Structure 1
Amino acid sequence: MSFCAPRGRTSMDDSEIRDLVTGWAEAVHAGDLPRVLADHRDDIVMFDVPPPHVGVRGIDAYAQTWPPFFQWQRGGASFEIVELDVTAGEDVAFVWALLNCGTPEALAATPGRYLRLTLGLTREDGRWVVAHEHHSFADVS
């Protein structure tokens, strides 16, 4: 996994957020739903690749999106961060990342087609939590 070079010196917040995101991606790949949900707000909003395209709102709706993905992934698909960038303020941060997400066949057929991830985070009670999550693929036809 490679990361973008930090802008200036890397802050403790940047490191905490990178750890949060990489831990989340590892949990997704492992199919570990409690860890996937752990650092998300109860009122999370997520826009995802599969429907509903108006997004899901709330931790319960967010949790329901993951079991079908875990099942698909058990067929040998990858979910690996290849690039990650963090911009953190005092109480708000955002992250963008590119991930290899697909079966070996799909990744071989469309090299360079990455899952794009954008996260909006807030600091609550001294820790970072995800308030907004967006996944998308570019059309590379």
Structure 2
Amino acid sequence: MTADGERQVRAILETRTRAFGRRDAATAAAGYDDDLVLYDVVGSFVRRGEDPTGRLERWIASYRTGIGHEIRDLEVTAGADLAFCHFLVRISGTMRDGTEVGMWVRATTCLRRQGDAWTIVHEHASVPFDADTGHAVLRGEL
């Protein structure tokens, strides 16, 4: 693992977190690769070739407030040209209809280095579910 690679990966995630709070979709999407494969919590099972800025603009627009994006338990493994990380993220804020959001999501992000820059090539977000009811578990103590 390279310390510089880990630092750069962490910086991409921190930049995105700050951008969500400012409602800045372009900055939040800047770390994505053109060949991004996305397994998102909402929407279709697999997203490829979708404009990540447009997707984030639509998501951010559904909130009245900035979006809280608290990363917890981040672990990064970075090699020479590939890196991956996994973490928990708490999404919070107030939606346009007044709904208060406060939920934990599991996330895995894979990155590739091209030249001096790391870009996100795959992202997977999920929520656990209760096997007895089939309902998502979005709240609770970690």
Q: Does the alignment reach a TM-score above 0.5? A: yes
What count of residue pairs does the alignment treat as equivalent?
126
How far does residue 35 in structure 1 lie from its aligned partner after superposition? Answer: 0.8
1:121 to 107, 111, 129: 111
Listed as ranges, the gaps of 5+ residues in structure 2 are 95-99, 130-136
Match among 15, 29, 38 for residue 46 of structure 1: 38
1:58 Cα deviation after fit: 2.1
State the match for 1:69 in structure 2. Answer: 59
Specify the SS of the correspondent of 2:62: helix
Match of 1:56 among 35, 38, 47: 47
Residue aligned with 1:80, SS: strand
Q: 2:16 aligns with which of 5, 24, 29?
A: 24
Q: Which amino acid aligns with 1:46?
A: L
Residues 40 and 129 in structure 1, CA contact (< 8 A), matched pair in contact too: yes
Structure having the larger proportion of residues in helix = 1
Listed as ranges, the gaps of 5+ residues in structure 1 are 1-6, 108-112
TM-score if structure 2 supplies the norm length? 0.76
Question: Which residue in the other structure is 2:6 paired with?
Answer: 14
| Alignment partners' CA distance in 2, 1:77 and 1:16 | 23
RMSD of aligned alpha carbons:
2.3
Return the letter of the residue paired with 1:18. R
Any runs of at least 4 consecutive aligned residues in structure 1 with deviations exceeding 4 A, and if so which? 103-106
CA separation in 1, counterparts of 2:34 and 2:57? 18
Cα distance in 1 for residues equivalent to 2:30 and 2:50: 10
TM-score (ref. length: structure 1): 0.76
The answer on 1:96 being equivalent to 2:96 is no
2:70 alignment partner in structure 1: 80
